[in-house]
Amino acid sequence: MMNFMNKSLVTLLTGAIALSMSSCTAPLASREGNSLAITAPTPAETLSLSPATQSQNSLQSLLTDTAPAKNTLPVTIYQADDQCQALIPKTVAVPSPGAVEAAIGNIIAQRDTADFSLAGYRVTINQNRVATIDLRLAPNSKRQLVSLSTCEQLALFGSLRRTLTANQTWNIKDVRFTQQGEAIYL
């Protein structure tokens, strides 16, 4: 009985991975002067996640944490603890080409709620190794970035900043945030 359950679970998880990978869209990267611009999915390609997609991403995250696929590399992302007192490291496997975007996408996907949703983002890393993350709020988001609580700000902005600056292979010195090109002041 236990062997049958294990085989069924493996089959289910394999199917979930195949399904989730077939619906993924890769960010576009291009050189703009001395910086690298990485464009995340547009609103039409949907970065905003429904509850069903969130549970699928949770399953995919669980699978990614336990069974890294080929062409992936382990990356430490930081998430706020339950008390919003500290950022806790978590190692996830992300695609090796596009690791920065995948790490950012992982954090942003976790911040999507019923009343706050991001439609996309763009990352540029200039020659001084300063990353700028330009966030795009979803049109149907009931809340704005400036309305986030201190805990929510730590979970989003703190997690992004710490994840990018702590991963030494990326050599990112600082992270700045904008919303459609305008600096975000919190």
Q: Which residue has the tokens 């359950």?
A: 5
pTM of the model: 0.64
Q: What is the pLDDT of residues 85-109, one digit of tens each?
A: 999 999 999 998 899 999 999 999 8
Q: What is the pLDDT of residues 31-85, one digit of tens each?
A: 344 444 444 443 333 333 333 334 334 434 444 444 455 789 999 999 999 999 9
C-beta separation of 159 from 78 below 8 A: yes
Tell me the C-alpha distance between 175 and 123, whole Å: 10
Tell me the C-alpha distance between 2 and 104, whole Å: 38
Mean pLDDT of the chain: 73
Say which amino acid occupies 97.
Answer: P
Cα–Cα distances (Å) from 101 to 96, 97, 136, in that order, read 10, 9, 15
* Alpha helices by DSSP H, 24-136: 51-66, 99-110
Q: What is the pLDDT of residues 130-168, one digit of tens each?
A: 999 999 999 999 999 989 999 999 999 999 999 999 999
pLDDT higher than threshold 90 for residue 30: no
